[in-house]
């Protein structure tokens, strides 16, 4: 991770790019950034290096560091996901990530059911049971952490390295539902019990049950997101 000072500058510039305050094609000059953020050129350079690794900026010969178009961003970078969720593009990001989850997580649960590991299944069942307890208590912070653990465990252990690489962006969207108050004070019983059904399906080698239950979980999320976020003109036309 970058040093704290670099992180501050990185996040300030990253948020400005993602929000559109720094527009596509804008040239970022090292001396201007150092002066604006009251840091050394070394700190500014390191922040730009990290932004370059996310494809938010690029170095153009005889021009300098230029803001890339959004079509070129690394949209799976956890920081890019977080900044998009904090920006005016929040609704679109929620919808696109939920669609990604719908395509990936049911398949990951089914794949894991084909070769369940006893220790991993035990962790899933424990997480599901603890989610139920936390839901009854209205402890949303603890509920969130167990929810993240549950979904990350399936992605990490489904045997597909491409799915496993999605743990970080999916974690960001799970956290965003909490931060953006898209979770009820007491999570509904049916989605909570569906997590247990996913875990039982995986334990029993029942890929169909695990996949169907995970599909229902994500569909419930999609319904909540659709009900609480306005559709863009493009989405409304689909």
Q: Give the mean pLDDT of 91-97.
A: 89
We report the CATH number of the domain holding residue 168 as: 1.20.120.530
Residue 25 shares a structural domain with residue 106: no
Question: For residues 220 and 218, what is the distance between their CA atoms, to the nearest angstrom?
Answer: 5
Residue 38 shares a structural domain with residue 17: yes
Residue 154 shares a structural domain with residue 52: no
> Which tens digit of pLDDT belongs to each residue from 76-91?
999 999 999 988 888 8
Question: For residues 163 and 127, what is the distance between their CA atoms, to the nearest angstrom?
Answer: 20
Q: How confident is the model at residue 34 (pLDDT cuts 50, 70, 90)?
A: very high
Q: What are phi and psi of 66, to 5 degrees?
A: -120, 140
> Which tens digit of pLDDT belongs to each residue from 144-163?
999 999 999 999 999 999 99
Question: For residues 120 and 108, what is the distance between their CA atoms, to the nearest angstrom?
Answer: 14
Rg over alpha carbons for the chain, rounded to the nearest Å, is 20
Domain count, the chain: 2
In percent, the amount of the chain with pLDDT more than 90 equals 72
24 SS3 class:
coil
Alpha helices in the chain (DSSP H): 4-19, 30-37, 41-53, 78-86, 90-114, 118-137, 140-156, 161-164, 167-179, 189-203, 207-228, 233-237
Residue 100 shares a structural domain with residue 139: yes
Residue 48 shares a structural domain with residue 33: yes
Domain holding 213, by residue range, is 78-237
Residue 198 shares a structural domain with residue 231: yes
Residue 84 shares a structural domain with residue 14: no
Residue 65 shares a structural domain with residue 145: no
Place of tokens 């863009």: 232
We report the CATH number of the domain holding residue 59 as: 1.10.10.10
Identify which of 43-57, 84-98, 182-196 has the greatest average pLDDT: 43-57
Please give the model's pTM, rounded to 2 decimal places: 0.85
Please identify, among 52, 72, 92, the residue that sits at the C-terminal boundary of a domain. 72
Residue 173 shares a structural domain with residue 100: yes
Residue 63 shares a structural domain with residue 108: no
């Amino acid at each position: 991770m970058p040093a704290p000072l670099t992180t501050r500058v990185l996040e300030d510039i990253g948020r400005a790019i993602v929000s559109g305050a720094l527009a596509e094609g804008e040239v970022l000059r090292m001396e201007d950034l150092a002066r604006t953020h009251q840091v050394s050129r070394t700190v500014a350079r390191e922040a730009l290096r990290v932004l370059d690794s996310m494809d938010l900026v690029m170095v153009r010969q005889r021009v300098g560091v230029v803001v890339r178009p959004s079509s070129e961003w690394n949209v799976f970078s956890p920081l890019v996901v977080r900044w998009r969720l904090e920006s005016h593009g929040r609704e679109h990001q929620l919808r696109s990530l939920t669609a990604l989850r719908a395509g990936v997580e049911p398949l990951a649960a089914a794949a894991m059911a084909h070769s369940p590991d006893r220790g991993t299944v035990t962790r899933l069942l424990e997480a599901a049971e603890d989610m139920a307890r936390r839901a009854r208590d209205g402890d949303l912070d603890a509920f969130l952490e167990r929810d993240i653990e549950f979904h990350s465990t399936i992605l990490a252990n489904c045997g597909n390295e491409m799915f496993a690489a999605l743990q970080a962006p999916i974690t960001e969207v799970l956290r965003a539902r909490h931060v953006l108050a898209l979770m009820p004070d007491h999570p509904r019983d049916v989605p909570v019990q569906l997590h247990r059904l996913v875990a039982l399906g995986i334990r029993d080698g029942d890929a169909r049950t695990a996949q169907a239950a995970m599909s229902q979980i994500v569909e419930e999320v999609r319904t909540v997101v659709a009900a609480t976020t306005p559709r863009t003109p493009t989405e409304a036309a689909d």
